[in-house]
Structure 1
């Protein structure tokens, strides 16, 4: 029996953000980057335990300025080539242990994609503001790494 997906209650954590970016890669390439290829553009190589299955937990680490940061979550919704929604939990300097929700929408635009990322459920403005500064850089990195030929 498949258990229903339990979506986090964000009502007591009202802070969120949205970022949009025109991306060079197609929606299928970007969807795959978010669901199967995190270690090719974001996560530390060899640290990813992730399968694109709704409600299945995942784990990965990032490395930035010599610091390793564990990230945990699970996929809430997956619409191939159109949408990925996941919970996102990090420690100090990130979500501070709070389970947040990241929704990434992929819309075809010209020869690329309009990517819209919404990140909701921050407990305070400081955590939201840190992510508001980080996400544009993360999406730029994604754009650069997916614009290059990707293994199929």
Structure 2
């Protein structure tokens, strides 16, 4: 005898990483000449437009949804670029206001640690203000390397979104 369909199981709670043994964090701020919606979409739907290697992104902008993408760095002429995989999942999404996600990379990146990137987006005068916090590094050297990189990455994002890249 067939049974009646049942309601789907309740959604599992979001498991936020425990960063207590990885206390190092950074914060980078940038004013941009674009709107908050454009930045939100760049981080949730268009990673391959400005950061990830084209064709490498598997991402759905939903809380608790995992994502994957690769970045590539040039090596010597005539050699293939080095691929750098990035993994994570979305923790919080507030359209045009907030993106929070876990961020895991390997050697030279987060060293395998599941870190947390929080992007706060707010309108500001003739554009918007972005504050990126990246928490959960094992040591200061890794944090400092990421802080330097985030300044460059956000400058590149700004150039791409304003058409000056």
User: When the two structures are superposed, what TM-score results if normalisation uses the length of structure 2?
Assistant: 0.88
Is it true that 1:123 corresponds to 2:132 in the alignment? no
- The alpha-carbon deviation at position 148 of structure 1 amounts to 2.4
* SS class of match (2:119): strand
For structure 2, list consecutive stretches of 5 or more residues without a partner in the other structure.
1-9, 75-80
- The alpha-carbon deviation at position 144 of structure 1 amounts to 0.5
Whole-Å separation in 2 of the counterparts to 1:67 and 1:23: 30
2:6 corresponding residue in structure 1: none
Whole-Å separation in 2 of the counterparts to 1:148 and 1:82: 22
Is it true that 1:14 corresponds to 2:29 in the alignment? no
- The alpha-carbon deviation at position 85 of structure 1 amounts to 0.1
* SS class of match (1:9): coil
Larger Rg: 2
For structure 1, list consecutive stretches of 5 or more residues without a partner in the other structure.
none
Write the deviation string for residues 18-50 of structure 1: whole angstroms up to 9, x where unpaired: 000001110000000000000000000000000
Write the deviation string for residues 27-75 of structure 1: whole angstroms up to 9, x where unpaired: 0000000000000000000000001000011000001223210000000
1:36 corresponding residue in structure 2: 45
- The alpha-carbon deviation at position 111 of structure 1 amounts to 2.0
Instruction: State the aligned residue count.
Output: 149
Whole-Å separation in 2 of the counterparts to 1:24 and 1:59: 28
User: When the two structures are superposed, what TM-score results if normalisation uses the length of structure 1?
Assistant: 0.96
